[in-house]
A and B are shown apart, each in its own frame.
Chain A
């Protein structure tokens, strides 16, 4: 774990670069994580996925099923990989400030 400074704010991130406390996430941090995940430019599509993930996480405390994410945002899995090169479970969750999905994934 280590601390990084983003927009003047001290943020604790884990070994995989995920935010440790999802509660401290705010929209201002996203561009930092986008750079880490090799997302060159944040578009409306990115935000659509990020906002969906945030909203689901707030309600259920976990990332949604991948297929549900696709269905509810209207993107195919391939499109999500285009938006977030390391995929929905890793890249998208990191930008949205969700904990890293663990287990057999």
Chain B
């Protein structure tokens, strides 16, 4: 089976410290990693041992609904690992084999893992509906971690790892370019408002450390501008670290050691400027990594961690907002709604910023993923990505004519516009929630 993405070459994986294990040693290495993980990650062990195969998750998974590929049905996806796990780590599997759903590790095992664990968006919708609380994302995270530890990963992930090593952000934006981008955005805001609104980079002694998404310094400029206007209006002492221009933590999406390193980088940046408050920008899985994983990676930390939408919502009453004449809806990023408790905040903000806010169905913690989650943004997987985004497109189309689709997560911002265009909707503005705040806020003479 040929995986649908470009796979990183041996020299490429070696360059990020995850050398490829020789073919003949793969099985031993994988089983060793699996053994390590099962004895250090309770969720993995319990979730592999407790599926009753009721099949309830099939109808809840956008990946299966969109691709109609059996192995994208969450229980079947997890079974790719479960069958190996049973065969080598349970008595019944070793003794009775297939009777108990155990299979030998074979030549196809890892290519199947690579193919299907990278068609899971780790959106956790299956966990929401599983009567036993089985979270397939945990299995996916483990499978991707094992694969990357033996040097198998998509080229896309490897490229991001290179950038993160070099610059601390996914896009590989070096410090001088960050400063240049900030100055450009300051100019833009000056032209618009006549005010001197700063985007301070690496300013020592800052109370607040803002961690944007590096995509805000490339494509999603308005999200950054919205946040800068908010901080300006509130008159707070804030800065952006050039060492961590990235709320995203792609380590969570392919290798947990890389995840830990990036998380510790965040702690170092906050400590360096003496920040008491770290505010995470519009990034879904990055918010999960910061909120749920900092404890296990970098504890103890001496700062508070909040999300920009939570922070904005706390100050919503004081902001000079004028409602924009838009019919707008919100796509809940999975990691906000199911892993990060950012649910009502963006709704309150949007209601304050637009005249007509409508809900798509289902929403909040039952929302469907955009289909790009967990970093499945490779161009070569475009066809699959469009299938993964099918449910989302249907949800948006069902709302009729819209002016604005808010999706406060950089992966969603990269995925959904392509999906909507593919399914025939291109007369629609799309962007973040902070974008709306920036546009609805009346500052200066404008």
Which of A's residues lie within 8 Å of B, judged by CB?
1, 15-16, 59-63, 65-68, 71, 89-90, 99, 101-105
Residues of B within 8 A of A89 (CB): 218-219
Residues of A within 8 A of B9 (CB): 1
Q: Verify if B156 is at the interface (C-beta below 8 Å from A).
A: yes
- Assess whether A62 is in contact with B184, with CB atoms less than 8 Å apart: no
Which of B177, B283, B379, B410 has a CB less than 8 Å from the CB of A62? B177
- Assess whether A104 is in contact with B215, with CB atoms less than 8 Å apart: yes
Q: Verify if B173 is at the interface (C-beta below 8 Å from A).
A: yes
Residue in chain A with minimal CB distance to B414: A104
**Interface-forming stretch among B43-51, B132-140, B164-172, B436-444?**
B164-172
- Assess whether B219 is in contact with A66, with CB atoms less than 8 Å apart: yes
Given contacts A68-B181, A103-B160, A103-B248, contact A60 B215 (CB under 8 A): no
Interface magnitude class on chain B: 35 or more
- Assess whether B160 is in contact with A15, with CB atoms less than 8 Å apart: no
- Shortest C-beta distance, B350 to chain A (Å), equals 22
- Assess whether B170 is in contact with A102, with CB atoms less than 8 Å apart: yes
Residue in chain B with minimal CB distance to A67: B221
- Shortest C-beta distance, B262 to chain A (Å), equals 13
Contact with A along B197-223 (1 / 0, CB 8 A): 000000000000000011101110100
Which of B180, B184, B411 has a CB less than 8 Å from the CB of A104? B411
Per the bound structure, the CA–CA distance linking A63 and B180 in Å amounts to 12
- Assess whether A66 is in contact with B218, with CB atoms less than 8 Å apart: yes
Residue in chain B with minimal CB distance to A103: B170
Contact with A along B1-32 (1 / 0, CB 8 A): 00000100100000000000000000000000
- Shortest C-beta distance, B5 to chain A (Å), equals 9
Residue in chain B with minimal CB distance to A63: B218
- Assess whether B215 is in contact with A103, with CB atoms less than 8 Å apart: yes
Residue in chain A with minimal CB distance to B222: A67
- Assess whether B180 is in contact with A60, with CB atoms less than 8 Å apart: yes
Which of A59, A66, A71, A101 has a CB less than 8 Å from the CB of B171? A101
Given contacts A60-B177, A60-B180, A67-B188, contact A16 B380 (CB under 8 A): yes
Q: Verify if B92 is at the interface (C-beta below 8 Å from A).
A: no
Known: A15-B6, A61-B174, A104-B414. 9 other contacts (CB 8 A): A60-B177, A62-B177, A65-B217, A66-B218, A103-B170, A103-B215, A103-B218, A105-B215, A105-B218
- Assess whether B221 is in contact with A104, with CB atoms less than 8 Å apart: no
Per the bound structure, the CA–CA distance linking A75 and B191 in Å amounts to 18
Per the bound structure, the CA–CA distance linking A105 and B248 in Å amounts to 13
**Pairs A-B, 3 closest by C-beta atoms:** A103-B170, A104-B410, A60-B177
Q: Verify if B101 is at the interface (C-beta below 8 Å from A).
A: no
CB within 8 Å of A: which B117-154 residues: none
Residues of B within 8 A of A67 (CB): 184, 188, 221
- Shortest C-beta distance, B30 to chain A (Å), equals 25
Q: Return 8 A-B CB contacts under 8 Å, by A number.
A: A1-B9, A63-B218, A90-B379, A101-B218, A103-B172, A103-B215, A104-B411, A105-B377
- Shortest C-beta distance, B135 to chain A (Å), equals 23
Per the bound structure, the CA–CA distance linking A67 and B217 in Å amounts to 10
- Assess whether B171 is in contact with A103, with CB atoms less than 8 Å apart: yes
Residues of B within 8 A of A63 (CB): 218
Q: Verify if B298 is at the interface (C-beta below 8 Å from A).
A: no
Residue in chain A with minimal CB distance to B379: A16
Given contacts A104-B413, A104-B414, contact A65 B170 (CB under 8 A): no
- Assess whether B172 is in contact with A62, with CB atoms less than 8 Å apart: yes
- Assess whether A65 is in contact with B379, with CB atoms less than 8 Å apart: no
Which of A66, A68, A104 has a CB less than 8 Å from the CB of B170? A104
Given contacts A60-B176, A62-B177, A65-B184, contact A104 B155 (CB under 8 A): no
- Assess whether A61 is in contact with B248, with CB atoms less than 8 Å apart: no
Residues of A within 8 A of B171 (CB): 62, 101-103, 105
Residues of B within 8 A of A103 (CB): 160, 163, 169-172, 214-215, 218, 248, 410
Residue in chain B with minimal CB distance to A1: B9
Q: Verify if B159 is at the interface (C-beta below 8 Å from A).
A: yes
Residues of B within 8 A of A102 (CB): 156, 159-160, 163, 170-172
Residues of B within 8 A of A60 (CB): 174, 176-177, 180
Residue in chain A with minimal CB distance to B164: A103
Residues of B within 8 A of A15 (CB): 6, 155, 380
Per the bound structure, the CA–CA distance linking A99 and B219 in Å amounts to 16
Given contacts A15-B6, A16-B380, contact A105 B174 (CB under 8 A): no
- Shortest C-beta distance, B421 to chain A (Å), equals 11
- Shortest C-beta distance, A5 to chain B (Å), equals 22
Residues of A within 8 A of B180 (CB): 60
Per the bound structure, the CA–CA distance linking A61 and B181 in Å amounts to 13
Per the bound structure, the CA–CA distance linking A50 and B196 in Å amounts to 32
Residues of A within 8 A of B172 (CB): 62, 99, 102-103
Per the bound structure, the CA–CA distance linking A82 and B214 in Å amounts to 26
Residues of B within 8 A of A16 (CB): 6, 379-380
- Shortest C-beta distance, B241 to chain A (Å), equals 17
